[in-house]
Amino acid sequence: PHSATSQFFINVVDNNFLDKSTNNAGYAVFGRVTKGMDVVDKITKVPTGRAGPHQDVPKQPVKILSVNIKAAAVQK
């Protein structure tokens, strides 16, 4: 619980378990990868394992060194 201060997901498949439900507060989608999907593809190939109650945790930390944030387009 309360991991939103330090955790985010780059979803490459549908992860319905992250949606809001009666037993789960859920996670909000807040961005989109517009460039660099080759980097995301490399991240999906790193070895993972269990860490406490979590699965698919990278065995070695994946560090994001640079991010460009663009303002969202206004939808009419």
Domain that holds residue 8: 3-58
Kindly state whether residue 43 falls inside one of the protein's structural domains: yes
Kindly state whether residue 44 falls inside one of the protein's structural domains: yes
Kindly state whether residue 28 falls inside one of the protein's structural domains: yes
Q: How far apart (Å, rounded) are the C-alpha atoms in residues 31 and 49?
A: 26
Q: How far apart (Å, rounded) are the C-alpha atoms in residues 34 and 31?
A: 9
Q: pLDDT-based confidence at 59, cuts 50/70/90? A: very high
Domain count, the chain: 1
Catalogue the E-assigned strands of the chain: 48-51, 54-58
User: pLDDT tens digits, residue range 4-24?
Assistant: 666 777 889 988 888 999 988
